Structure 1
Amino acid sequence: MAKVLSICFFIFIITSIISCEQRTHQSTKISPTYKASIKIAVSSTPLSSPVFIAKQLGYFEANGVNVELVKYDSGVKCFNALNDKQVDLATASETVVMFNSFKQSNFSVLTSFVESDNDLKLLSLTPQKYHRLNNLQHARIGIVKDSASEFFFDSLLIMYNKTAQPITRVYLRSDELIPALLNNEVDIISAWEPLSYLLTQQVTSDTSVINSRGLYHLSFNLIELKETTLSTTERLAILKSISDATDYIHTNPELAQQNISRILNIDPSQLRYSWNDYTFRLSLSNALFSNIQTQSQWAIDNQLVDEENSVDFRQIFDRKLFETFMSLEAGW
């Protein structure tokens, strides 16, 4: 009953906002339900599960918006599609947000909808040799350049006081990391999921160099251009739909995994491998701000970006919209 009342209240508030917008902007006569579809660029990863679930279970339609999902194989490509105005919204990691903030300030982060504290890992066929980053002298490290893979590895070097170690960085695409490791072209790879899972399918022994849980927090975020054509009502409805999807995931984790397995065409065992590492919730926290700030300083220190182009990251967080949404959710 409480859930029903909450939904009814949200719909009442949204209806009131629509009415207000229509009185203020007489040219806007059409309800969101009948407008052209809103396109969201979505990275084809389980991290995007709330967006996929919201579409599959009809939460977008229930909240009055017509949404079309456009799949891409990375957050970088999702952001590029948004920047090229091929879509209205995009999903991407905080690292993508950080790097692009040095190029432009015409976008906003509306919310983060998932976090993982165990998505990135250091992997090796001889992990005992490099336990706690021992014996790194002259080791060959497979890394995806200018990415979370490289940031994660550099953070570990600092944490374990190994920055002076003479190592060889071998820059590879993400799909080249496992073959390079198996072919003895590198000794260690800094990789994100599902690469750790895929490696376990080929190597039966443990491959983890260190217990990396909690050392790096990856997030996936919903992003839009500041010059958006979407109304406040539509954006609130989209946040509500994704929030409803996270509720479903928490209540029905097995069914949610089955749905995502079918949507992404991946083995259910792959989902089970990392599912408990994901925290699905809508947030726009200081922790996210601090994470982006830390990555920004790393990028500056390593001359990956121009410090003169740095911005105040608070300018790219749409806190006003998010706070309005949270107020509606709380029933204020």
Structure 2
Amino acid sequence: MNGFIKAGIAFTIAVVAILFFRYQLTDSKIITNTELPAVKIAVSTTPLSAPFYIAEKQGFFKEEGVKADLIPLAGGTKCFSALLKKEVDLATASNSVVMFNGFKYDHFTVLSSFVESDNDIKLMSLSGSGITKAQDLIGKSVGIVEGSASEYFLHTWLTLSGVDPSKVLTKAYSVVDLPKVLSLGEVSAISVWEPFAFTAASNRNNPARPLDTKGLYNLSFNLVGLKGAARNIESEQKVLAALNKAVHYIAEYPQESQIIIREKLQLSQAFIDWIWQDYLFKLSLNQSQVSSIEQQARWAIESQLVINETTPDFIQFFDASALQKIDPHASSL
């Protein structure tokens, strides 16, 4: 009789275990299938945006509990415009784009920079043009992207070289058109960021070459959001956490990261080799970034590119709260 009782107890335990296991599987499926909060991010189609593509490819956004929909756009100006139109929740933008828009709007915020480079923006001239220095551009035209780091970079280079910027004609184009107009001779030089500088250099019929400007300007690319009731701080923090994983992945696996970026943006390894050593990927917010924007703002006023006579209080556009929760040491603001 005792044997039957023991067998019954063992059977009951087995049934309970099976039911519990099935419940765990069902519960796991429910969790897995739960819709993650979606965030649309306008991302500039440049290797500077590598942390976003790495985070997407490696599943870091999902690991942090957010569904990131990356919207590719050519340049930070277009990304910022999409943000203002509320077509996206977040956007990538350079300090120059932040500066120009800071004169017009006060309802956006910089959450973090994610990369720095002192050689991403270049001045390119055709190899046979004979243009090697700023003085060679006096009386000539330079293609720029108006209201962006492209325009500020040219002005800074001319000024530091002792050339009055008013003696150089600027023509505004979309960034994607700059290599073409240089090749066609519509302008004598272009002030352009990557990968379009490399595109100009790789033109087989009319190759361009960079002038010596490395170290002239330290570009930061930032993640920017909107202020207001619609802001989702929790999602912003999750996006930053995913980007933080991505920058560490880039540092630990540079070759694998390069392959991801190369395939995502349809780039050649030659181009990756051209630019990779110039990039420092990290999340940060610091006073030097604010000072850089303030300096550019003074230039914009002096050049009458804005109608304002005083610079905004740009520190109000920086919000380090989400970043500090990810990495307390990433911000000194």
Q: TM-score range by the shorter chain?
A: 0.7 to 0.9
Return the alpha-carbon distance in structure 2 between the equivalents of residues 292 and 216 of structure 1. Answer: 12
Provide TM-score, normalisation by structure 2.
0.81
Provide TM-score, normalisation by structure 1.
0.82
Mark the runs of 5 or more structure 1 residues left unpaired by the alignment.
Answer: 1-29
Q: Secondary structure at the residue paired with 2:212? A: coil
Which residue in the other structure is 1:262 paired with? 263
Which residue in the other structure is 2:109 paired with? 108
CA contact (8 A) 1:127 1:209 kept: no
**Alignment of 1:76 onto 2:69:** no
Aligned amino acid, residue 234 of structure 1: S
**Alignment of 1:85 onto 2:86:** yes
1:68 CA drift (Å) = 1.9
Q: Sort the Cα spacing of 1:183 and 1:244 in 2 relative to 1 into closer, same or farther, 3 A.
A: same
Which residue in the other structure is 2:125 paired with? 124
- Once the two structures are superposed, the pairs formed by residues 203-218 of structure 1 within 5 Å of their partners are 207-208=208-209, 210-218=211-219
CA contact (8 A) 2:74 2:175 kept: no
1:278 CA drift (Å) = 1.0
Which residue in the other structure is 1:10 paired with? none
Which residue in the other structure is 2:284 paired with? 283
Aligned amino acid, residue 81 of structure 1: A
Which residue in the other structure is 2:45 paired with? 44
Q: Sort the Cα spacing of 1:322 and 1:201 in 2 relative to 1 into closer, same or farther, 3 A.
A: same
Aligned amino acid, residue 118 of structure 1: N
Aligned amino acid, residue 150 of structure 1: E
Mark the runs of 5 or more structure 2 residues left unpaired by the alignment.
Answer: 1-30
Q: Sort the Cα spacing of 1:296 and 1:103 in 2 relative to 1 into closer, same or farther, 3 A.
A: same
Larger mean Cα displacement after TM superposition, 210-219 or 99-108? 210-219
CA deviation map 1:156-184 (0-9, x unaligned): 11111111773333333323322332223
Runs of at least 4 residues of structure 1 off by over 6 A? none
Q: Sort the Cα spacing of 1:329 and 1:60 in 2 relative to 1 into closer, same or farther, 3 A.
A: farther
Aligned amino acid, residue 263 of structure 2: R
Which residue in the other structure is 1:155 paired with? 156
Q: Secondary structure at the residue paired with 1:191? A: strand
1:231 CA drift (Å) = 4.3
Larger mean Cα displacement after TM superposition, 62-71 or 121-130? 121-130
CA contact (8 A) 2:137 2:188 kept: no
**Alignment of 1:274 onto 2:275:** yes
Question: RMSD of the alignment, in Å?
Answer: 2.7
CA contact (8 A) 1:136 1:165 kept: no
Larger mean Cα displacement after TM superposition, 163-172 or 143-152? 163-172
Return the alpha-carbon distance in structure 2 between the equivalents of residues 230 and 167 of structure 1. Answer: 43
Return the alpha-carbon distance in structure 1 between the equivalents of residues 310 and 86 of structure 2. Answer: 23
Which residue in the other structure is 2:253 paired with? 252
CA contact (8 A) 2:144 2:150 kept: yes
Q: Secondary structure at the residue paired with 1:327? A: coil
1:207 CA drift (Å) = 4.3
Which residue in the other structure is 2:241 paired with? 240
Which residue in the other structure is 1:136 paired with? 137
1:191 CA drift (Å) = 1.9
Return the alpha-carbon distance in structure 1 between the equivalents of residues 183 and 320 of structure 2. Answer: 46
Which residue in the other structure is 1:12 paired with? none
Aligned amino acid, residue 151 of structure 2: E
Return the alpha-carbon distance in structure 1 between the equivalents of residues 252 and 232 of structure 2. Answer: 31
Q: Sort the Cα spacing of 1:205 and 1:81 in 2 relative to 1 into closer, same or farther, 3 A.
A: closer
1:206 CA drift (Å) = 8.1
Aligned amino acid, residue 294 of structure 1: Q
The structure whose Rg is larger is 2
Return the alpha-carbon distance in structure 1 between the equivalents of residues 330 and 303 of structure 2. Answer: 42
1:210 CA drift (Å) = 3.2
Aligned amino acid, residue 221 of structure 1: N
CA contact (8 A) 1:133 1:209 kept: no
CA deviation map 1:52-99 (0-9, x unaligned): 111111111112222222222222222122222222211111111111
Which residue in the other structure is 1:56 paired with? 57
Which residue in the other structure is 1:4 paired with? none
Return the alpha-carbon distance in structure 1 between the equivalents of residues 308 and 62 of structure 2. Answer: 43
